[in-house]
Amino acid sequence: MAKVRTKDILEKFNLELVSGEEGLHRPITTSDISRPGLEMAGYFNYYPAERIQILGMTELSFLELLSDKEREIRMEELCTDITPGIIISRGLDIPEELITASEKHSVPVLRSPMKTTRFSSRLTNFLESKLAPTTAVHGVLVDIYGIGVLITGKSGVGKSETALELVKRGHRLVADDCVEIRQEDSDTLIGSSPELIEHLLEIRGLGIINVMTLFGAGAVRSYKRITLCINLELWDQTKQYDRLGLEEETMKIIDTDITKLTIPVRPGRNLAVIIEVAAMNVRLKRMGVNAAEQFTNRLNDVIIDGEHEDL
C-alpha cells in the first residue's frame, strides 16, 4: 500500500488541480524532486520520471523559446506512465501543450503560488517524513528533560508503572505499549504513538487511564526524537552489571544506533529516579561532562602519584 499519493500533496499544500485528475491516485515512491531543465532542452536519457517534477520560471521561460512542435514533443516526453505529478510554481501560466499531454497520459498538473525554492524545500521535508523507514517497538516512550527515553523490557517488568511515576514527576508521555518509530535521517529516530492508544496508559490492576485527562495537556506530547533506550530486566544475581558507566552499549533501530542502558529491577529500587538521572547524565555528556571518565582519570592520577612516592 502506497504511503503517499499525488492527492495527498494536493490536499497538504492546497494546490490547484489544472489537469490530469485521473492520475491523482498515483503513488509517490521517492522524496527526491526533479526540476527538468535538461529535459526541456531535449535530453531525456536520464530523466527521473518517477519523481515529482517542478517547473518554475526558468523552465517555463525556456519552453517559450521553443517552436510549437518542439514544445509538444517535450511535454509528451515529460508525461510518462510513472510520473506522479507535475507542479507549476509561482502561479505561472501553464502551456497548452502540457495540459494536452497530461490529459492524454493522466499525469496530474498542479499549480502553487509559492516560489520554486521555498515550495521544493517544504515538499521535500513532507515527503521525507512520510516516506521514512518505519518500525514498531514494544515499550514506552517518555520525554524526560528534553531527552526522548525509550523504556523497553519484558511484559510485566513495570514499564508502564515507571512511565506513570515519571509523568507524576512532571515529564511527558509520548507512547505506551507500542512505539511507532520512523527514521527521518541517518541518525534521527522519531517515536510516536498509534492513534488508537494515544495518551493512554495501561496499568495492571487499574486498567487503562487517559494521561491527558488526568494530568493535563502538558503531560503528553505527540512525538519525540529518541536519544536513549532504557532496558528494564529482573535482577539476575549471576549477571555482572556495569557499575562505572564507562562501557557504552548501543542498540540498532532500523539503521540508527542509540545508547542503551540495562537497569536491573528489584524491590526497593526507584526506577523513575534512576531513569531521570540517566536522562540528565546523557545531557551532561552532550555538554562534555562525563563523570565516569573524570573518576577514572582521577583514579589513574592517584595510582601514578602513589607509584612515584614508592620510588
Question: Known binder of ligand: residue 102?
Answer: no
Question: Known binder of ligand: residue 180?
Answer: no
* Spatial separation of the C-alpha atoms in residues 146 and 279, rounded to whole Å: 9
* Spatial separation of the C-alpha atoms in residues 98 and 102, rounded to whole Å: 6
Q: Are 230 and 261 in contact (CB under 8 A)?
A: yes
Question: Known binder of ligand: residue 153?
Answer: yes
Nearest to 173 by CA among 226, 211, 135, 216: 211
* Spatial separation of the C-alpha atoms in residues 82 and 92, rounded to whole Å: 24
Q: Are 161 and 176 in contact (CB under 8 A)?
A: no
Q: What is the DSSP string of 110-147?
A: EE-SS-HHHHHHHHHHHHHHHHS-EEEEESEEEEETTE
Question: Known binder of ligand: residue 302?
Answer: no
Question: Known binder of ligand: residue 155?
Answer: yes
Question: Known binder of ligand: residue 207?
Answer: no
* Spatial separation of the C-alpha atoms in residues 64 and 18, rounded to whole Å: 19
Q: Are 213 and 258 in contact (CB under 8 A)?
A: no
Residues with catalytic roles: 138, 159, 177, 243
Q: Any bridge partners for residue 202, and if so which?
A: 208
- In one-letter notation, the amino acid at residue 18 is V
Distance of CA 297 to the CA centre of its chain: 38
Question: Known binder of ligand: residue 104?
Answer: no
* Spatial separation of the C-alpha atoms in residues 266 and 183, rounded to whole Å: 34
Question: Which residues sit in the known binding site for Mg(2+)?
Answer: 160, 202
